[in-house]
């Protein structure tokens, strides 16, 4: 660990209030906070500011109006557009005026249901500008899921577009919106619709408003000061009951930690290009497409495409080289998809990576084999780091900006300044180093973490109830002898095999190390004799493989590595794994299929055919 990291971490633990009040000096405040953490209120409760001003206007006022703020790359429409900070300010101010003209003001909610286009960012920043609370719903989500979010957030306005584009396929959005509004109990007073050239959507008289026409008539709106503890946004994440959880993010702490993280975790300076290859519908898109880079005065890259197929497995490296990207952030599943199509890294060799300094991975556990492959071909640091929608920014990382370079494949790194971790058993006692337990974090959490769940105080309190004084992450993991924290998966991914607690994440690591395997998932299934036994689903790389031989080799590898107690006897080589639209493997669905349960197609699924193919292995069909 670097000296700068150790000093920063020690300072954050010795005097958290002092540490974060100093970090808050990077933000422009209308009323500068004097208080750090206040129980029951949050961070910087006496401060007043505006997030949009910090992301856009202040850079124009500082003389950087002609610097590039936003690059829009869309290989699916063959479009590349740039916006300076001055141009971004003008677009956002007019969009804010368009929203305000519909009667939306401070504290009102606005649903944004849009694909990866500049107007989605304009809308998010516009809501922040006038103090409205935005709730971005991933574009293309099924109508019932959109309806649930409408009923929970009770928005005054919904912003959408005529279509999204998935690979080469145009996805009409308006039918989904119309259906969701029919299903929802809450009645939205207006829908502002952006017509894209790829599809024209019908308009409903008396409710639907044409985006272009309304924008042309709108007066630019100024930034509205808000309390640091006022909500900036609600972002819904999957709940255990089928009802999504609305994570609430406050303005002040969010801005402070994003500015701090851009400089100290990612090492990004003003004017440099940062690319998070995510979606604005997910927390990464909120933190590190829409807000973080802009607050830090960097250039953010908005990408409408896929890691493969738009047009090929070289699109990431082509985009990085063309736009002089310095730090790249994506999900492990995206790199596995690239590797599956280009196992020898020929696109990387042919295209290069320009001035890229490092690649960061998050969203799910990065298996060591994927990291080793990427580092071998990129010849750059590949850094796994860990966080959650609830946290809003990284809690485990290798802090590149603090000069830290220590990393270990399979680990998400060390605690980021502001966070403290423990690995405990069911009774809350610390487990020995190297042993798997429940990952908890000591309170108070650092700024930027969620301040509640919208309309769900009980659900929020539950995360802090089991282990008093701690936040229960819901993840399982261990801390090794060198202090590296290893997040192995959700706590329900720890299985008990004949009295032995085994991590399916650890088994996945072994399976993924097989040279023929592109990605995999290991789940636990009930067994009358041993309680539970593991079952693996593996996707082979492009090429000709003997599936039966592969399955035997995988069983042997796990047995050799973990011993016979692992009892992995059933391996299925499949064409693809079912995933959510954010790239997470639907392990819960796999568990239900393996258990013989009838399941409906999950609403968040990106790849129904992959799940249907696996269900067919078990002689099942969707309910």
Q: Could you give the CA distance from residue 541 to residue 526 in angstroms, rounded to a whole number?
A: 30
Backbone φ and ψ for 161, nearest 5 degrees, come out as -140, 170
Q: For residue 220, what pLDDT band results from cuts at 50, 70 and 90? A: very high
How buried is 124 (Cβ within 10 angstroms: 0-12 exposed, 13-18 middle, 19+ buried)?
buried
pLDDT in tens, 180-198: 999 999 999 999 999 999 9
CA distances from 566 to 367, 390, 507, 560 (A): 19, 33, 8, 10
Q: Could you tell me the maximum CA-CA distance found in the chain, to the nearest angstrom?
A: 71
Instruction: For residue range 172-183, list pLDDT tens digits in order.
Output: 999 999 999 999
The mean pLDDT of the chain is 93
User: Which CATH architecture does the domain made up of 502-617 adopt?
Assistant: 2-Layer Sandwich (3.30)
Q: How far apart are CA 120 and CA 98, in angstroms?
A: 14
Where are the domains positioned within the chain? 3-305+385-477, 502-617
Residue predicted with more confidence, 363 or 308:
308
pLDDT of residue 565: 61
Note the CATH architecture for domain 3-305+385-477: 3-Layer(aba) Sandwich (3.40)
Cα–Cα distance for residue pair 407/398, rounded to 1 Å:
7
What value does the mean pLDDT take over residues 212-217?
98
**pLDDT at residue 622 is higher than 80:** no
């Amino acid at each position: 660990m670097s000296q700068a990291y150790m000093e920063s971490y020690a300072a954050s633990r010795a005097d958290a209030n002092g540490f974060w009040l100093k970090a808050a000096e990077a933000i422009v405040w209308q009323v500068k906070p004097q208080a750090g953490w206040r129980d029951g209120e949050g961070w910087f409760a006496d401060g007043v500011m505006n997030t949009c001003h910090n992301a856009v206007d202040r850079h124009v006022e500082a003389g950087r109006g002609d610097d590039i703020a936003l690059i829009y790359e869309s290989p699916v429409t063959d479009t590349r557009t740039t916006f300076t900070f001055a141009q971004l300010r003008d677009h956002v101010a007019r969009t804010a005026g368009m929203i305000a003209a519909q009667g939306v003001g401070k504290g009102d909610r606005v649903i944004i249901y849009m694909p990866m286009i500049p107007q989605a960012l304009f809308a998010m920043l516009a809501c922040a500008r006038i103090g409205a609370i935005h709730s971005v719903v991933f574009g293309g989500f099924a109508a019932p899921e959109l309806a649930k979010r409408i009923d929970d957030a009770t928005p005054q306005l919904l912003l959408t577009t005529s279509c999204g584009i998935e690979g080469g396929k145009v996805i009409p959005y308006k039918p989904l919106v119309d259906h969701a509004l029919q299903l929802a109990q809450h009645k939205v007073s207006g829908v502002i619709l952006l017509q894209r050239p790829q599809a024209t959507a019908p308009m409903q008289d008396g409710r639907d408003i044409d985006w272009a026409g309304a924008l042309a008539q709108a007066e630019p709106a100024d930034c509205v000061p808000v309390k640091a503890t006022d909500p900036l946004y609600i972002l819904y994440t999957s709940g255990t009951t089928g009802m999504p959880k609305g994570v609430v993010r406050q303005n002040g702490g969010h801005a402070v930690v994003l500015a701090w993280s851009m400089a100290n975790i990612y090492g990004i300076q003003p004017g440099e290009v940062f690319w998070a290859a995510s979606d604005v519908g997910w927390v990464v898109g909120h933190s590190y497409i829409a807000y973080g880079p802009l607050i830090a005065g960097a250039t953010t890259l908005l990408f409408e495409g896929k890691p493969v197929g738009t047009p090929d497995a070289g699109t990431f490296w082509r985009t990085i080289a063309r736009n002089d990207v310095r730090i790249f952030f994506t999900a492990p599943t995206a790199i596995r998809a690239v590797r599956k199509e280009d196992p020898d890294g020929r696109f990387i060799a042919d295209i290069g990576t320009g001035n890229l300094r490092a690649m960061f991975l998050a969203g799910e556990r990065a298996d060591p084999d994927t990291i080793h492959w990427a580092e071998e071909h990129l010849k750059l640091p590949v850094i796994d780091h860990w966080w959650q929608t609830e946290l809003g920014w990284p809690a485990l990382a290798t802090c590149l900006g603090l000069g830290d370079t220590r990393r270990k494949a399979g680990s998400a790194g060390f605690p980021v300044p502001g966070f403290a971790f423990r690995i405990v058993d069911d009774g809350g006692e610390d487990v020995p180093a190297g042993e798997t337990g429940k990952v908890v974090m000591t309170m108070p959490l650092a700024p930027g973490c969620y301040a509640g769940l919208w309309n769900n105080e009980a659900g929020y309190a539950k995360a802090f109830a089991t282990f008093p004084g701690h936040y229960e992450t819901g993840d399982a993991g261990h801390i090794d002898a060198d202090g590296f924290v290893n997040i192995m998966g959700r706590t329900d991914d720890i299985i008990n095999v004949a009295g032995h607690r085994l991590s399916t994440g650890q088994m996945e690591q072994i399976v993924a190390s097989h040279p023929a395997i592109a990605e995999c998932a290991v789940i636990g299934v009930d067994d009358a004799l041993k309680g539970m036994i593991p079952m693996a689903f593996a996707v082979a790389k492009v090429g000709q493989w003997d599936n039966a031989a592969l399955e035997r080799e995988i069983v042997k590898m796990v047995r050799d590595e973990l011993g016979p107690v692992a009892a992995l006897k059933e391996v299925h080589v499949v064409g693809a794994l079912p995933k959510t639209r954010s790239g997470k493997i639907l392990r819960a669905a796999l568990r239900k299929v393996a258990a013989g349960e009838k399941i409906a197609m999950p609403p968040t699924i990106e790849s129904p055919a992959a799940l249907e193919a696996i269900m067919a292995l078990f002689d099942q069909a969707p309910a």
